[in-house]
Structure 1
Amino acid sequence: MSPEGKALRADAARNRARLLDAATAQFAERGVETSLDDVAKAAGVGIGTLYRHFPTREDLVLAVYGAQIDALDARSRELATSEDPGEALREWMRGFVDFYAVKQGMVTLLRTMMDGSRSEHFAQTRETLRLAAERMLAPAIEAGVIREDVAAPELLRALGGICLTSDPRSTPPSSTLALVDLVYDGLRYGAPVAATRS
């Protein structure tokens, strides 16, 4: 491979990353009002560059959604080895709020795609998210810092419910995080370690 070829590939990778970052911010802030022109302009590239990486609006939405899922999954792997599994779980739950702020901005588009030919893709991402939640819950349960009767789907529904009732454009992040902390405190109620200390 020539140096020129490597430089072109590096430039393309940088452009793609810039487009994903720009789209993530735009969807979180403006939701379905976001246009592809908005994204290209925010990324500092031409619309042709955007189309080379993401031929359709749906391709861009899927890429942003997938990147958010991957980030939550990667963070769960990092935090799963923490010496404080309870605090690690709490931190992951708080990070979920950022993911949902982006998802909420794309929710109309995502719902349309979930019912179409991309449904299998969403089944895979839901499974990735469930496994990430289980990865965070298991060490905390084993350490006795949260109750034993909580399952990953229940935790995800609770976090999703909080986020759905919080508009990222009008609700202060501190209010949403306070509700996340309230759910975390509920997970600790009746935990073996907490019961021993009381």
Structure 2
Amino acid sequence: MTTNDEGAGQPAQQKPVRQKRADAQRNQQALLAAAATVFVASGVEAPVREIAAAAGVGMGTIYRHFPTRADLVVAVYRHQVEACAEAGPVLLAKGGSPHAALSQWVNLFVDFLVTKHGLAAVLRSDSAGFEALHTYFLDRLVPVCAQLLNAAAEAGETSTDIDAYELMRGIGNLCIGTDNDPRYDARHMVKLLIAGLLQSRLT
């Protein structure tokens, strides 16, 4: 009877551990989402206390997960890449216009590019690490952009000769310098570019 009782109790001992790990994962994801929002608003040099306040945690919690600012920036970068990559299929699955899904995805991509601003400066001492992140960025996001473009082309909304990498590169170029010139609205220019994809099919 003792052996059976011990065996029966084993899964019950493991369940709290799994739950604790799941809670910790959710808390870390919430922290990264808050940090990304702060980075968009204030840049990657934003004070840690601002990030802690946005996440509703103490500064010690952030330093426990991310001992250096570079650790936090890289984690936010990867978190945003994954969020952007996962959003593409979700937007397409809503059943609306593929061009509209592309437009919504591009808005998320622009948010990501704003978050990315300043990353090179933070990681300037680790060029190899930065290159690895750039490769990861391309591997995850170019196929998603291509999926959206192909869906729009198959629906007859856009031309079939638009390359995903070129489009993303063009959007990135439009976003350069947006923080330094209050008269320049990168989001407006990107919106015109995406609207132009639709118009190019109609002309």
TM-score using structure 2 length:
0.78
Q: Match for 1:144: what amino acid? A: G
For the residues of structure 1 that align with 2:110 and 2:130, how far apart are their CA atoms?
A: 24
For the residues of structure 2 that align with 1:98 and 1:55, how far apart are their CA atoms?
A: 25
For the residues of structure 2 that align with 1:27 and 1:123, how far apart are their CA atoms?
A: 22
Larger CA Rg, structure 1 vs 2: 2
Higher-RCO chain (CA-CA 8 Å, sequence separation at least 6) = 1
- 1:184 match: 194
- C-alpha deviation, 1:134, in angstroms: 0.5
For the residues of structure 2 that align with 1:164 and 1:114, how far apart are their CA atoms?
A: 22
- 1:119 match: 131
- 1:135 match: 147
- 1:93 match: 106
TM-score using structure 1 length:
0.79
- 2:65 match: 53
CA 33–183 in structure 1, closer or farther in 2 if over 3 Å, else same: same
Q: Which moved more, 1:67-76 or 1:24-33?
A: 24-33
- 2:56 match: 44
For the residues of structure 2 that align with 1:13 and 1:37, how far apart are their CA atoms?
A: 21
Structure 2: stretches of 5+ with no match in the other structure: 1-12
For the residues of structure 2 that align with 1:106 and 1:38, how far apart are their CA atoms?
A: 18
Within-5 A mapping of 1:23-42: 23-42=35-54
Within-5 A mapping of 1:162-181: 162-167=174-179, 170=182, 175-181=185-191
Cα contact 2:120–2:130 (8 A) shared by 1: no
Cα root mean square deviation, aligned: 2.8
User: Which secondary structure does the structure 1 equivalent of 2:43 belong to?
Assistant: helix
- 2:86 match: 74
Cα contact 1:28–1:101 (8 A) shared by 2: yes
Among candidates 109, 112, 118, match of residue 122 of structure 2: 109
Q: Which moved more, 1:58-67 or 1:29-38?
A: 29-38
Structure 1: stretches of 5+ with no match in the other structure: none
Query: Is 1:145 the counterpart of 2:157 in the alignment?
Result: yes
- Runs of 4 or more consecutive aligned structure 1 residues displaced over 6 Å after TM superposition: none
Q: Match for 2:194: what amino acid? A: Y
Aligned-pair identity in percent equals 35
